[in-house]
Amino acid sequence: MISIYVLTTILFGVAVAIIARAKGRSWLLWGCIGLLIGPFGLIVALIASVPRRRVLDRCPACAEPIRYEATVCRHCHSALEWTAEP
């Protein structure tokens, strides 16, 4: 009976880790969460959103990576204007 519990707990941990890795989150942290809280960790991992990337474009003047929130490039200090929100 105890072996079924251990096997189920390990399966939940692995499933949560796989889902977290696919969403770009820390698979080790989420795997531990899955081990600790089992099916609740699986539910939370499934409904957790994918983290938004902060660096989404390059500066048209110097081609360095910049954030959409930026209004001035931190590398070359040129003014930036965004035509559309991501």
∠ Cα 23 4 35 (to 5°): 30
* 58 and 43 part of one domain: no
* 14 and 41 part of one domain: yes
* Residue 21, domain extent: 2-47
Task: Please count the structural domains in the chain.
Answer: 2
pLDDT digits (tens, 9 = 90+) for 29-67: 989 999 999 889 888 888 887 765 555 678 888 888 887
pLDDT score recorded for residue 42: 85
* 38 and 64 part of one domain: no
* 40 and 18 part of one domain: yes
82, two tokens: 């965004």
* 60 and 42 part of one domain: no
- Rounded to whole angstroms, the Cα distance separating 11 from 17 reads 10
Q: Which residue has the higher pLDDT, 83 or 27?
A: 27
54, two tokens: 């902060």
Asked whether the predicted pLDDT for residue 11 surpasses 80, the reply is yes
Average pLDDT, the chain: 83
